[in-house]
Chain A
Amino acid sequence: MRGRWISQLSLFVLLAGFTAINLTPVVWGFMTSIKQPVDAFAVPPRFVFTPTTEFHWQVWIEKGFWHFLLNSAVISVGTVIISVSIGTMAAYGLSRLSGGASRGVLFGLLAMRMFPHILLAIPFFVLARILGLVNTYPAMILALVAINQPFTIWLMRGFFVDVPHELYESAEIDGCTAWQVFARIALPIVRPGLWVTALFSLLLAYNEFLFALVLTGPDTKTLPVAIAEYGGEDLNYWSLSAAAAVGIMLPIVIFMMALQRHLVRGLALGAVKG
């Protein structure tokens, strides 16, 4: 009994150590964001210092990062609304298709998920330039909706598949139209899944970098692009960009806390479940 206890404890210590190493870069980034440059550039690294929040204030307010936050919010919320609406409809349609046809579509979607994004980014840019859509919200939202569709449909389908088909059939016998079966029977059942899918789409849209780099401009630049481009001339650069980085990460930490129970389903099963 005691031997078992000791082996459990050492296993825990080992895994906790792994977790600690995993979190070191994040913690170090956070420490950099509350350090004066003189502490940030100290060799050997300083772990004890007087913390300051002045760089958080500076980068978000004075350097105008709030503006990029606004762009990120508009683009990701717009993407989620469109992507989840049409993706949910498609997932419902798929869940009611016959096995063979739906398997074909699902494989097609999986193939699309695997496209090298750079191969889409180039024609997107050329087309957006021809249509005068570079540096506009619609171009970016449309691109993100398209690349999020396969993921959204796969994830939502997983929730629809669990709905017993007898429910649909009895609703049809009672005279519900196709739309009513979807809106009144199926949707309320999968509502929890709808939230999970919406939050994951939000995360994907918020984190996206390549398309934002190519398609956004000065007026529509999102947070990842803004921080990647943030110049290093300033002496306070480290502290400032660390403060921006920590701020960008904050919503994601909240997201993780909110979704902890669904993390496995969303990321593992959404990607893997057939």
Chain B
Amino acid sequence: MALHDLLLALPITFATLWTILLIVVEATAKRAQLTFSLTSVGFLILITMMLFPSEQGYAFGEMLRLSPYSQFANFVFALSGLLVITLSQSYLAKENIHFGEYYIIVFIATLGMMLMASAAHMVVLFIGLEIMSIALYVLAGIMRKDLRANEAAMKYFLLGAFSSGFFLYGISLIYGATGEMTLFKIGIYLQENSATSLFWIGLSLMMVGFLFKISAVPFHQWTPDVYEGSPTPSTALMSTASKAAAFTALITVVLNVSSQTENNSNWIFALSTIAVLTMVVGNIAALSQDNLKRMLAFSSIAHAGYMLVGIVAGSDAGYSAVLYYALVYSLMNIGAFGVIALIEQQRELTSASDYAGLFKEKPLLAGVMALFMLSLTGIPPFGGFIGKYKLFAAAVESGLSWLAVVGVLASAVSAYYYLRVVVFMFMREPQAENQFEGVVLNPTLVLIALLVFLLGIFPTGMLRFAGEAMKFAFNM
């Protein structure tokens, strides 16, 4: 472990050291507020680090691969992490679970995601996945006294463990089939030899693991229950950054086996079937949800479907669209869950009708929420539109116009349930006077709304970042 490796993998080195610092500080000072501040500082440093170009290459003997690709992904993770913890504070205090450990676990989860995005070796990929998953299991169950949260955590843990098992089994079969665990060496092997059925089983099993994490149909059943039961800020992290991490890792794997998947009609058929099912089932099921968290859970399934369209497209344009969408989606979904978390603190207000009259009492908050809903629908001039446009354009480019048609129609359906929230907030009278008296708008939400808006009007910078990332995703 030369110094050079440590410097090359600076984000990960830094995050590791910072984790230890956080644990030491929390153990000695025992002040959640302090841990919160330090964690935010850690995230801020990471974000800043990602915005500057840095050296690229393999670190630790082809275990990690640092490139603009991992940089973009790490940027998304660190930004999501930062936003989630700033939105968590008051919620945790209200629920009486304001532990400093919460922030540490969020930070470690982010570290796990960073490992996934930078992994060049299947073992590192798996360890990253496990770090992220275990952190999320804990975050789901952190409300120990709440029965539903316990159920959610248990369900998530059991099913997650199964999916990890599949994933690991897949890795071992691929190792058996190719004799390699380093991703690019697997790629080289596959270019020189034809893939055996053993390899395909291995890849399918790995896909099961990935599809579970991104909650694609038919591996989605855990999503609504877990999202509903978990503390809302944890749900925000679960539905955004962890999906983004799974997608970035998925892209790395698919890129390295692309000699087998490109123009492979079976592969495209299987994946596009899953994408269509995910979009359709997610959107249709979301239509009938009254509970807002469940609604967003199904909508997050649908969004995973849109992103899968980019993966099916199998072109650089498609992958970079997925990256960009992961960023925008993370922002708007964290925003939406952030608003829910604020309202929930007031009382157990979770169904759409509880939001009636929000506009009258808290116009800015209602406006921000409406912006997130419209952006999730994919209406310009918000970021969600540019993201969807890129995804579907990539599908058309790759000759999968029918997939784009399904996607576009599915997102038209989604307008109904997103707008329902807007209808309640803006057009209905409140159920009781001063219902939202104690709700204080978190400035972070306004910041997120601004970002979502800017990503819709001036997407160039970030799109370029994502495009640049894809250039370095495969070839060095």
Tell whether A and B belong to one assembly. no
Chain A residues near B (Cβ < 8 Å): none
